Structure 1
Amino acid sequence: MSAATPAPPAAAPAARPAPGRKGDRPRRRGSLPGRVALYLTLSVLLLVFIAPMVWAVSGSFKPRGDIFEYPPNLIPSPATLENYGNLLSGQPFWRWFAISVTTALLATAVAVFVCALAGFAFAKYRFAGKRVLFSVMFSSLSVPFAVILVPLFVLVVKSGLSNPWFALIVPWVAPAFGIFMMQQYIIQSIPDEILEAARIDGASEFGIFLRVVLPLLRPPLGALAVWQFLQSYNSFLWPLVLISDTESYTLPLGLNILFRAENRSFDLVLPGAVLASVPTILVFLLLRKQLLEGLSTGAVKG
């Protein structure tokens, strides 16, 4: 009796051809007229947004009498650096610049850390009064800053903390928007199992936050850092109420002085605006990857 041989494996069923005609290529999303309309709309919006900056850069290199020439000429003829020289030599521009950049960077660093820590607490811990505290924090988003301006100023002065280098940072250290943003991202992207595994390994709660949570928050932290830097760097109302010494002005206040001068010094305002935009452009370029990832996370998760 011959040994039984294993049956040959059954042939795999042939894959069904994709529906549609043979040789069809995948169609692109959207029709051609729709894409054309979209690109035209985006191009118009780009021109609207970039036109003021282009005009400021062009005017900063023009003599004062040519800034408002008509028809406008975007290419300065002749181009001159005299406006920049007059601004840097005749005004305390670099002091204004240093105060604005330093306070904005400090406020951003503190705010990013505080928002991440508070968002982690709201997202992963249970404690008495959590819902009430979160509701109060979230409802503060609907309160304009001008409403709390005077009480905040009185509180800072009565506390003896009115030093500009400190007081300029106080309003931006714990923005409600940043706390809410961190809380939502942590809920969606950091599972409890990772935290439990870290606790089993003997990590402390603060160590879990520093070594586990923070590295996973790079995209939203980058987006929050860009937003917070712009908020602090472009702040005008709070420094206007707080600072009385011209030498301690921030850039928005300093440029406002030049604009409100009797002779409207546009030949100084325009180069000042161009130089003032450099830090914001650098921050965006350095954090653009984290910014785009952080802004797109909600859409992907949703």
Structure 2
Amino acid sequence: MTKFDPKFDRYPYSPIPQRPVYDWPDGKRLAVYFALNIEAFEFGRNPGNDFTSMPSAPFHRGYAYRDYGNRVGLWRIQRLFAEFDIPLSIIVNASVYDACPEVLEPFRARGDEIIGHGRTNSERQIDMTGDEEAEMLRQVVARITAEEGKAPRGWLGPFISQSAQTPELLKRNGFDYMLDWFYDDQPTWFRTDEGPILAVPYPSMELNDLPAYVNRKASDGDFTTMLMDCFDEQLDESALYPQVYAASLHTFLTGQPHRIRQLRRVLAHIAAQRDRIWLTTPGQIASHVAALPDGIVALP
């Protein structure tokens, strides 16, 4: 089992202006993807905070608030992305297949990528023993493979939680990339004892509706401005070097009707630049980087 080490050496320091420059497909320089978190929770176990106060058992308010996302909010988001013909990257708990399997049907029909996100969002990897985490990952891979006909290539831990051994366990279970580590605007190789795994940028702290609305108390308009300003700035910067623009949405937050109005503005703004950007998924980004000539993206 990998131990925590104060001499962190999973990836080296590398200033982005000094790296080799490469293109995304068709000579584009900005890859754009939207991640939609589709989650299931166990009643009676804390599903996380809400806008009002610290939760307390049996956590019925948080459970009901999040269940709204699968019952109502998700369908608004699905229709909007279909309207703009923009792909989605579906970050899913395996227990969704038991709780509400119907929610995945429209995304499966569109060919959206399915990304592993634990068994349930009522547990975290950091709270598991090594054997428990290994078994959880095995179960998730087996369930998604059985339901989708292929294994997931990407992973995001519930609560973006990792243990010291998570990167090694991901490699052992066949994952090509992970989203848990967001330290760059380009995909980078991340060292594990089982060989390198790609760390694909994911907006764990910034363009993620949950920390924006719940933790930082951003208004709906604030978050819309963030999404659009970040896109515009990264599109301009991409003349210098390739970048990944990523936004993360949760069904129970962005799926509220007043926020769908805001999201429509964002998607229209981005779709207006469709000819200049690569609308894609993390799996396609990972495949592109893995196929680049040796040395373009340095190994750790």
Structure with bigger gyration radius:
1
TM-score by length of 1: 0.23
Whose helix fraction is larger, Structure 1's or Structure 2's? 1
- In terms of fraction of residues, the more strand-rich structure is 2
Per the normalisation by structure 2, the TM-score is 0.23
